[in-house]
Amino acid sequence: MLRATLTSMLHRKLRLVLSGLAVVLGVMFVSGSLILTDTLSRSFDNLFAGVYADTDVQVHGEPKVAVDEFEGEQVPATMPADIVDRVADVPGVASAVGEVEADGARVIGSDGKVVTSFGPPRLGVNWGGQGGLIELRDGRGPSAPNEIAIDAALASNAGLSVGDQVGVLTLEPRQDFELVGTFGFTEDRDTIGGVQFVAFTDEVAQELMLGETGVWTAVDVKAAPGVSHEQLRDDLTAALGDGYQVRTGAELAEDASAGLRSGLAFFNNILLGFAGVALFVGIFLILNTFSIMVAQRTRELALTRAVGASRRQIVGSVLVEAVVIGLIAAGLGLAAGVGVGALLATLAGGFASLPTAGLAVPASAVISAFTVGVLVTVVAAGMPALRASRVPPVAAMQEAATPDRPLTRLSVAGTATLAAGGAMLALGLTGNAGGQELWAVLGGVLVCFVGAALLTPLIARPVVSLLGRLFSWSVPGKLGRLNSGRNPRRTAITAAALMVGVALVAGVGVILDSAKTSIGGLAEDAMDAELIISGEQTGPRPPSFDPDVLDRAAALPGVDTVAGLYGDQAEVDGQTGFVSAGTDLAAVRKMFGLTAESGTVDTLAPGQLVVDSRTAEDRGIAVGDRLPVQLSRGEPSTYQVVGVYEWLPIFGGFVLPPEATANFGIPQPDMGFVKLTEGTPADQVQPQVAALLADSPEVSVTDQNAFIEQQSSQLDSVLTMIQILLALAILIAVLGIINTLALSVLERTREIGLLRAVGLGRAATMRMITVEAVVIAVFGALLGVVVGSGLGAAVVGALGDEGITTLTLPWTQLATYLVLAGIVGVVAAVLPAIRAARTDVLTAIAYE
Amino acid sequence: MSALGNDGVAARASDVWKVYGSGEAQVVALRGVNVELARGAFTAIMGPSGSGKSTLMHCLAGLDSVTRGEISIGDTQLTGLGDAGLTKLRRDRVGFIFQQFNLLPMLTARENILLPLSIAGRKPDRGWFDTVIDTVGLADRLSHRPSQLSGGQQQRVACARALVTKPEVVFADEPTGNLDSRSSAEVLGFLRSSVHESGQTIVMVTHDPAAAAYADRVVFLGDGQIVDELTDPTAETVLDIMKRLDTLLLVNAGELAGSDAGPVR
């Protein structure tokens, strides 16, 4: 039986190629993601191992507020300067050196713009001389307060050279320094992982990066000869007591890369999610291929049954076929994934100036490639295998007419599945899934897709017939339309595969568009400021600007009120979260239209705070409560709640008085709002405010519309990202269309021959196939748009509480998907159409 | 038959050779066939299996190309016509009836009948359409799909489709091969009546003497050559010739192997 199966497969190898291709692409995506993240992860390990290679032990303070890396940046803890002496006194210490290292040293390049970073920190450090990793390239280290040295890569990116006057933004507004030197790193590196280094003299580094002199962020300790790093660490820990982190170089490297690894793992999960979608779509394609092949082989199967094969053997033979395809495809997919993963890792490494580790194929990639590849194929082949086993032996003697099976059972199952999916989705969206909301939503979407796919055959005939009318003006068009309606199951599965990808893109589009309109509308309604000062955030650190600008803007003619907002990650009453502070609560209140629910939200004296109604409710906070607050810097202090304001989607959280900002991680405002006096045109004041921002190049001043536009453009890039990641799923669906058409053309050789005999030209034959493809593709896209809009609308409905109150459908976008589907149909039809046009009339009509 | 003028000839084959394959695998299907098919007549081409009768019909109908020689339909030389030309010729001037798989399953009987006209973008002649439908007796079956029709009814739809375009020649390839004797009689009956009442030209390939008996003239093919012919045949006379042909061919087979059975370039 096995031999018969394999021989029979060889005869149909071409037909198996396309369905195998779906698995190859899906597996490629899976193993590619795994290899990409594995390579990057090992590259970071190498990087940090190198960075800390010369480090014996380092002492750090405990951070005031421990910040999750997805929430923001950790502000480094400082230690008083006498720590160096205390460390030096510990036996076994050969030397101890105080160091400053903090993110937020932003260099203004020769073009007047801040050199941006898409992730790696922009460190301000004290110049500790050459040695260790540092190698001077040009000039010397800074020795006077107005001198700096920067790393070679930064110098070249910023277009700066030794002798230039360079503006640097730190905790303080812009200050100018003389660039006295550039440095690289050992092994002739210009940069370490894209991190920007600005080296100041000790005191300047302390003042500008930490906000006070006489403190260090780290003490670098060298062990005396014969003392192991671990021993030294333990001795130091014992000697210094609580409140310090003492780690060896190896531990520091491990901690540093562990932080990045968790980010990579998150990234990897996202990629795997999209790979999952691609494989899910692949299941449709394989299911269809196997179904068609089983249908075409009815006689062969019946004959096998007639000569004595059992049902089990038939199922087995189909499944063996699936396993073989799955194994081969998984192997190819793994190979392709290794290539793609390595290529992407090199590209990403180049982008992040990260020397990539050598190629290695992690076991996880191999295991998942084969598991996923085989599992997907076997699952997809299961149904057709069962159907094959139900072919009665007598079918061998009959005309191979497949009667239309009723769709009742399928449709009932589809309705039930859709309802189950809807229920899961509802539970997830309303937060009633017992903490598994995300899984409930994702599972619900998946189950909804299966339900919709099961219902598709039922609606295929009427919808396809309706769609087809668009093309029925010609005979080939009419024939194509009729062909696409002939086998509703086949058309349905093919279209459903396309539906999945389009539905996800369309659903996300609906959610983002609704979010844009809702937030935009809210901002327009609520925000009572004509001009807004803000900048685009590219890394973990928000852009900020000189607070003096606010005062000077307030003094401009035509300006009514000015308010600035500061933000920090702080620990309030034991919980870490975002807090803000306004320069003037009354102004903030006016501009955002805040209303007091209890207490007062008009003014804040030092030691007072207000909070939004939701947070108050969640955490049981009421006016009059006294809450301990630890900001990024400084000592903990107690604040009294004086008011609770009504939560707004664009404004929430604890609001502290302006005095608190001195201890914020970034003691500079990140947004400013300018309200003009009645009748003052915005474009008259805007250039004046812009002039004030000359030394704060991270931000710019825009009018309200441009601000909203700027904010929503970030959502657009999210959509683009998702479109790119779903492209593979859609590509697989297109393969499905090609596959279905190719198999149909093969099946209808006689008909095509007849049509050619009675005078259908080659071009017309191609047109007929093309119309069929276009009808299927547009049908799939239409389903996707409808299902996606439905899912999107459901999510939007559930997000009403989060301020997404307006459901808007991105009509242009949705229409574009339909048009694109039409084009995709034309492209998918090319090969099958050529094949059909080449049909040899004589062979086609020859008797069996 | 050479007495017939060009006006009276619907299709002609002049010294037609057809060779499949090359070298060892070479098969000569037609060896210099000369035949003229009269306009307004019902001609049957007969012969035992492998005699080349189907090949001859395919060549005459422009479905297959000839290796040597010339085919013409009316005044048109088929040799040298490209695919587009042949397609147009088939569409506008030739009708086909095949043994099976004759209809498109997704079209109704009426749509199947009108298919060649639709492809050509021509309006059906209402009166002629009704005449044809009446003749084949399908007036009450027009909105049925092929799966709802019996074999005989399907073949009558195919006949109607071949006739509705008023082609110069209708080629029928074993049109009754899949039908029982009653259905066969019906189909053959109106094929003949379309010739005698409407002046249609029909060329039919068959191996059934009873079917050939409906024709005005029977051309006998044996081993790729025309070996005999008969006018106003009956089933008996056809059968006689067929029997004679079988013995003749057995004798010839020996001679031919030694003579001109060699490859034809």
pLDDT of A365 > 80? The answer is yes
- For residue A806, what pLDDT is reported? 82
Give the integer Cα–Cα distance in Å for A530 and A591. Answer: 10
Give the integer Cα–Cα distance in Å for B199 and B37. Answer: 14
Confidence band for B4, pLDDT divided at 50, 70 and 90: very low
Please give, rounded to a whole number of angstroms, the shortest distance from the CA of B252 to a CA of chain A: 28
Domains defined for chain B, CATH in brackets: 6-258 (3.40.50.300)
Please give, rounded to a whole number of angstroms, the shortest distance from the CA of B146 to a CA of chain A: 12
Number of C-alpha atoms within 13 angstroms, CB side, residue A334?
A: 21
* Chain B neighbors of A757, CB-CB under 8 A: 63, 90, 96, 98
Instruction: Report which of residues A397 and A461 the model is more confident about.
Output: A461
Give the integer Cα–Cα distance in Å for B87 and A63. Answer: 84
- For residue A202, what pLDDT is reported? 93
Mean pLDDT for the stretch of residues A53-79: 82
Number of C-alpha atoms within 13 angstroms, CB side, residue A769?
A: 34
ipTM of the complex: 0.79
Please give, rounded to a whole number of angstroms, the shortest distance from the CA of B233 to a CA of chain A: 27
**pLDDT over 90 for what percent of chain B?**
16
pLDDT of A398 > 80? The answer is no
Instruction: Report which of residues A734 and A408 the model is more confident about.
Output: A734
CA A626 to chain CA centroid, nearest Å: 40
- For residue A69, what pLDDT is reported? 64
- For residue A397, what pLDDT is reported? 60
Counting DSSP H helices and E strands in chain B, the numbers are: 8, 10
Could you tell me if B63 lies within 8 Å of chain A, comparing CB atoms? yes
Interchain contact, A751 vs B104, CB within 8 Å: yes
Mean pLDDT check: name the lowest of A193-202, A458-467, A493-502, B183-192.
Answer: A458-467
Closest partner residue to B106 among A482, A756, A845, by Cβ? A482
B 76-115: CB under 8 A from A: 83-84, 87-88, 90-92, 96, 98-107, 115
Residue for token digits 């038939």?
A314
pLDDT of B233 > 70? The answer is yes
Please give, rounded to a whole number of angstroms, the shortest distance from the CA of B62 to a CA of chain A: 9
* Chain B neighbors of A761, CB-CB under 8 A: 83-84, 87-88
3-state secondary structure string across A183-233? EEEHHHECCCCCCEEEEECHHHHHHHHHCCCCEECEEEEEECCCCCHHHHH
DSSP E strands, A583-690: 596-599, 608-612, 626-630, 637-645, 654-656, 671-676
- For residue A515, what pLDDT is reported? 86
Mean pLDDT for the stretch of residues A682-693: 91
pLDDT of B1 > 60? The answer is no
Residues 6+ apart with CB under 8 A from A607: A637, A638, A639, A640, A657
Break chain A into its structural domains and give their ranges. 52-249, 456-528+703-848, 536-698
pLDDT of A844 > 50? The answer is yes
Which residues are registered as beta bridge partners of A246?
A59
Mean pLDDT for the stretch of residues A524-553: 86
DSSP E strands, chain B: 9-20, 27-38, 42-46, 68-73, 76-77, 94-97, 169-173, 202-206, 217-222, 225-231
Question: Helix, strand or coil for residue A695?
Answer: helix
* Chain B neighbors of A472, CB-CB under 8 A: none
pLDDT of B264 > 50? The answer is no
pLDDT in tens, A587-642: 888 888 888 899 888 888 899 999 999 999 989 999 999 999 999 888 899 999 99
pLDDT in tens, A744-774: 888 888 888 888 888 888 888 898 899 889 9
Interchain contact, A486 vs B83, CB within 8 Å: no
- For residue A127, what pLDDT is reported? 92
A 761-820: CB under 8 A from B: 761-762, 764
What is the biggest distance separating any 2 CA atoms in chain B, rounded to whole angstroms? 59
Mean pLDDT check: name the lowest of A207-211, A434-438, A512-516, B33-37.
Answer: A434-438
Closest partner residue to A759 among B91, B100, B173, by Cβ? B91
Residue of B nearest to A476 (CA): B119
* Chain B neighbors of A758, CB-CB under 8 A: 90-91, 96, 115-116, 119, 161
**pLDDT over 70 for what percent of chain A?**
95
Mean pLDDT for the stretch of residues A45-50: 86
Taking phi first (over 0 means left), then psi (-120 to 50 degrees means alpha), and beta for anything else, what does residue A395 get? alpha
**pLDDT over 90 for what percent of chain A?**
29
Mean pLDDT for the stretch of residues A377-399: 79
pLDDT of A335 > 90? The answer is yes
Give the integer Cα–Cα distance in Å for A723 and A810. Answer: 15
Interchain contact, B98 vs A761, CB within 8 Å: no
Give the integer Cα–Cα distance in Å for A478 and A842. Answer: 24
Closest partner residue to B119 among A751, A758, A847, by Cβ? A758
Mean residue pLDDT across chain A: 86
- For residue B5, what pLDDT is reported? 43
Confidence band for B2, pLDDT divided at 50, 70 and 90: very low
Could you tell me if A842 lies within 8 Å of chain B, comparing CB atoms? yes
Question: Helix, strand or coil for residue A169?
Answer: strand
pLDDT of A246 > 60? The answer is yes
Interchain contact, A475 vs B121, CB within 8 Å: yes
Q: What's at A222, amino acid-wise?
A: K
Q: At what angle do helices A249-296 and A298-306 cross, to 10 degrees?
A: 80
Mutation choice for A interface testing from B106, B107, B112, B173 by most A CBs within 10 A: B106
Q: Which of A44-53, A217-226, A797-806, B170-179 has the highest mean pLDDT?
A: A217-226
Give the integer Cα–Cα distance in Å for A796 and A434. Answer: 21
pLDDT in tens, B162-208: 888 889 999 998 888 888 888 889 889 888 988 988 889 999 998 88
Mean pLDDT check: name the lowest of A166-170, A827-831, B100-104.
Answer: B100-104
Give the integer Cα–Cα distance in Å for B106 and A599. Answer: 76
Closest partner residue to B90 among A482, A485, A759, by Cβ? A759
Residue of A nearest to B98 (CA): A845
Interchain contact, A475 vs B91, CB within 8 Å: no
- For residue A176, what pLDDT is reported? 94
Beta strands A57-61 and A244-248, pairing class:
antiparallel
Instruction: Report which of residues B263 and A242 the model is more confident about.
Output: A242
Helix (H) or strand (E) holding A247: strand A244-248
